[in-house]
Amino acid sequence: MDGVIALYKKRGMTSHECVSALRKILHTKKVGHTGTLDPNVDGVLPICIGQATKISELMMQSGKVYRGAITLGRAYDTEDLDGQLIAHTPIETPLTSTEIDALLSKLTGDIMQVPPMYSAVKVNGHKLYEYARKGMTIERAARPIHIDYFKQIKPAQYDQIEQTQTIFFEVACSKGTYVRTLAVDFGKLIEIPSVMSDLTRIKSGGFDITQCVTLEEVQAAADNDELNTVFRPLKQALQAYPSYSLDESRWQIVSHGGFLDQSINPNHAPIVRLEYVGAVKALYQFDSDVSQYRPYKMFIA
């Protein structure tokens, strides 16, 4: 039982709870997710099963795409609506669409981001949220992230009664990006309290939300002996890497963990996906010291 399940994680569940549920459904301990989603965020959570757990780390490195909302005029200690209100500034004159676009563009490209206190980043051996729950604020270093794009997806809404403005966005970002911190940083650009008021991950690990299945659908597939309908093959999960089809002689070399010459990819791609009879058997990594490809991840049962 090897492959990836593109799981739709519902709100209210932790990523760990999703993994635990799948272990019970699939009757296997070899289950791992590819990057956590906060309980109040729904969307794409690729889950690796069996030998696919070997690529969990690689899938975590992939960029992610989210859709959500930023509400101006309110700020919360958790940077989302789960926390305590810490600031309130009425928005008397809402931003125009042009002004919003200009501000969003300032948060694109290579930027530095300070991780939020309510996060699992470790400082001095403890997770930041452990300090935050004790009312402590810890100095933390900014980290580099990359934002491919940050754009509006529909007109912003102004609430005249609450005097808040909500902006609806889509963002494509690198691993390690805290989208709720992006929402807060947006407000800081104009010195207005802001909060991430909604978030859905629509793409991760090469899978988009239209390809996802729910835990209930996985359970139904297991009950009907149709798990093949919810499993995605390694080939699809690793489609970002250039492929090479092995002939019989080279397959024998790979099956024994041997090196391959650079002719399998004259462009010296850092990582190459090796296939034999249509199935992914290994990822090989280019070693410049010997000008050869050596084993990186093996999927030989």
Q: Which of 2, 38, 77, 80 is catalytic?
A: 38
Is 38 noted as a catalytic residue in this protein? Answer: yes
CATH code: domain of residue 262: 2.30.130.10
CB contact at 8 A, 2 and 47 = no
Give tens-digit pLDDT for 125-179.
888 888 888 888 888 889 999 999 999 999 999 999 999 999 999 999 998 899 9
Both 173 and 266 in a single domain? no
In which band, very low, low, confident or very high, does the pLDDT at 301 lie, cut at 50, 70 and 90? low
Both 160 and 93 in a single domain? yes
pLDDT at 2 over 90: no
Q: At which of 151, 177, 202 does a domain end?
A: 202
In which band, very low, low, confident or very high, does the pLDDT at 45 lie, cut at 50, 70 and 90? very high
Both 55 and 168 in a single domain? no
Boundaries of domain holding 120? 64-202
CATH code: domain of residue 30: 3.30.2350.10
Buried b (16+ CB within 10 A) or exposed e, 87-111: eebebeebbeeeebeebbeebbeeb
pLDDT number for residue 130: 86
Question: Cβ neighbours of residue 286 under 8 Å, at least 6 residues apart?
Answer: 262, 265, 268, 269, 270, 271, 272, 292, 293
In which band, very low, low, confident or very high, does the pLDDT at 235 lie, cut at 50, 70 and 90? confident
Both 148 and 76 in a single domain? yes
Both 167 and 107 in a single domain? yes
pTM of the model: 0.89
pLDDT at 35 over 80: no
Question: Cβ neighbours of residue 238 under 8 Å, at least 6 residues apart?
Answer: 55, 58, 273, 280, 283
Both 83 and 135 in a single domain? yes
pLDDT at 51 over 80: yes
Both 78 and 191 in a single domain? yes
Both 225 and 167 in a single domain? no
Both 291 and 268 in a single domain? yes
Number of structural domains found in the chain: 3
Chain-centroid distance of CA 167 in Å reads 22
Both 36 and 125 in a single domain? no
Cα–Cα dist 272/263, whole Å: 11
The rounded percent of the chain whose pLDDT value lies above 90 is 75
Tallying the residues shown for the chain, one arrives at 301
C-alpha distances (whole Å) from 35 to each of 44, 199, 205 are 10, 15, 9
In which band, very low, low, confident or very high, does the pLDDT at 219 lie, cut at 50, 70 and 90? very high
Both 145 and 192 in a single domain? yes
Both 251 and 276 in a single domain? yes
In which band, very low, low, confident or very high, does the pLDDT at 64 lie, cut at 50, 70 and 90? very high
CB contact at 8 A, 175 and 61 = yes
Over range 258-266, report the average pLDDT.
94
